[in-house]
Structure 1
Amino acid sequence: MIWIQRVISISAGISVVLVGIYLQGNIPTVGASGEAISIAGKFYPTALVLWVLWLVTITISAFFVIYGTRPK
């Protein structure tokens, strides 16, 4: 089960980078979202942050599945 979590987290990271580049055309957007996640981790319970990240991962994965390129 651990490798499934690693695959999901790796695909989430790659997807966030790709979507950030696609939407803004630059990588600093990804850095800003990373800062937002770290700030959220300081002020909110870890479970809530993990749930939000999971929701984002599912949404992004659905985006890639719809457009035919699944994150590997």
Structure 2
Amino acid sequence: MTDTQIRAAIRSGWPFFGVTSRGEVLARYLPGGPVFSWKKNQMMPTPLQGSDLLWWLQAADEDDHPGSAET
């Protein structure tokens, strides 16, 4: 899944499984259930949900752009 597809799946509330462009694994197993992320060899519920999780993904994308660090 692309980052855009993952964001759409998070918004929809339906189950999904995907890897972000940063290599982070995110999944939802039940409709309307929490979003899980892969940490320490297990899927852990993320403390961020809905629009907070979308904001977190957006911020992560912005951190990846070259030239964002001050010189």
For the criterion TM > 0.5, the same-fold answer is no
The structure richer in strand per residue is 2
The structure richer in helix per residue is 1
TM-score, normalization by structure 2:
0.37
TM-score, normalization by structure 1:
0.37
Structure of greater relative contact order (alpha carbons < 8 Å, 6+ residues apart): 1
